[in-house]
Structure 1
Amino acid sequence: MSYDLAVWDGDRPLDDRQAGLTYDELYERYLESDDVVVPPTPHIVAYVEALVARYPDDVDRSVVWASSPVIKEASGPIVYLLMSYGKAEEVSEYAATLAREHGLVCFDPQGECLQP
């Protein structure tokens, strides 16, 4: 079981509804299709690098990441973070704060809401 967050490069949506629409569009365009591989944008790469500097990737399935390496979950302007449920509270809080520091949008697809 995992807890997921989506982080993307772009303008912050006005509300949760708009964020959900943007998330759906980005997910479908960049993450759903295996046909086209789009390298992550420099902002997303920098974000993921900073994130894994604090919570390193572990190819043996660490207690933090449900899918590793994290950069493999990035495409174009979006990264989909899959966190182990046991670490979700700690990691998601840091991931949201870090996203804000990097000028990125953080969205909780389970709760269908923007992260502050």
Structure 2
Amino acid sequence: MSYDLAVWEGDRPPGDDRASSTYDDLYERYLESDDVDVPPTPRVVAYVEALVARYPDDVDRSAVWASSPVIGEASGPLVYLLMSYGKAEEVSEYAALLAREHGLVCFDPQAERLRP
């Protein structure tokens, strides 16, 4: 079982409904399509590098990440983070704060809401 977050580059949507539709569009365009192989943007790469600097995805990754490497879940302006449920509270809080520091949008697809 995992807890997921989506983090993307772009303007912060004005509310959860708009964020949900933006997330759906980005997910479909960049992660769901088998025809698209888009490298992650430099800002997304920098974000993932900072995130795995604190929570490595190569050492005992089953304790934090449900998918490794984390950068493997990034395409274009979007990265989809899959965290183990036991570490979700701690890691998702940091991931959301780090997204803000990097000027990225953080969205919780389970709750369909923006993360502060």
TM-score band (shorter)? over 0.9
Q: What does 1:51-62 correspond to in 2, within 5 Å? A: 51-58=51-58, 61-62=61-62
Stretch of structure 1 that moved more, 61-70 or 6-15: 61-70
Deviation at 1:61, TM superposition (A): 4.0
Which residue is 1:105 aligned to?
105
Stretch of structure 1 that moved more, 54-63 or 15-24: 54-63
Gaps of 5+ in 2: none
Deviation at 1:34, TM superposition (A): 1.9
Gaps of 5+ in 1: none
Which residue is 1:71 aligned to?
71
> Residues 32-65 of structure 1, C-alpha deviation per residue, up to 9 Å, x if partnerless?
0122210000000000000000000127642100
Identity level (%): 84
* 1:13 to 2:32 alignment: no
- Structure-2 separation of matches of 1:48 and 1:21: 23
* 1:91 to 2:106 alignment: no
> Residues 11-33 of structure 1, C-alpha deviation per residue, up to 9 Å, x if partnerless?
00000000000000000000001
User: TM-score normalised to the size of structure 1?
Assistant: 0.97
Give the 3 Å change call, closer, same or farther, for CA 59–36 of structure 1 in structure 2: farther
Deviation at 1:69, TM superposition (A): 0.2
Letter in 2 for 1:5: L
User: TM-score normalised to the size of structure 2?
Assistant: 0.97
* 1:42 to 2:42 alignment: yes
Question: Between Structure 1 and Structure 2, how many residues are aligned?
Answer: 116
Stretch of structure 1 that moved more, 32-41 or 82-91: 32-41
Aligned Cα root-mean-square deviation (Å): 1.0
Letter in 2 for 1:35: D
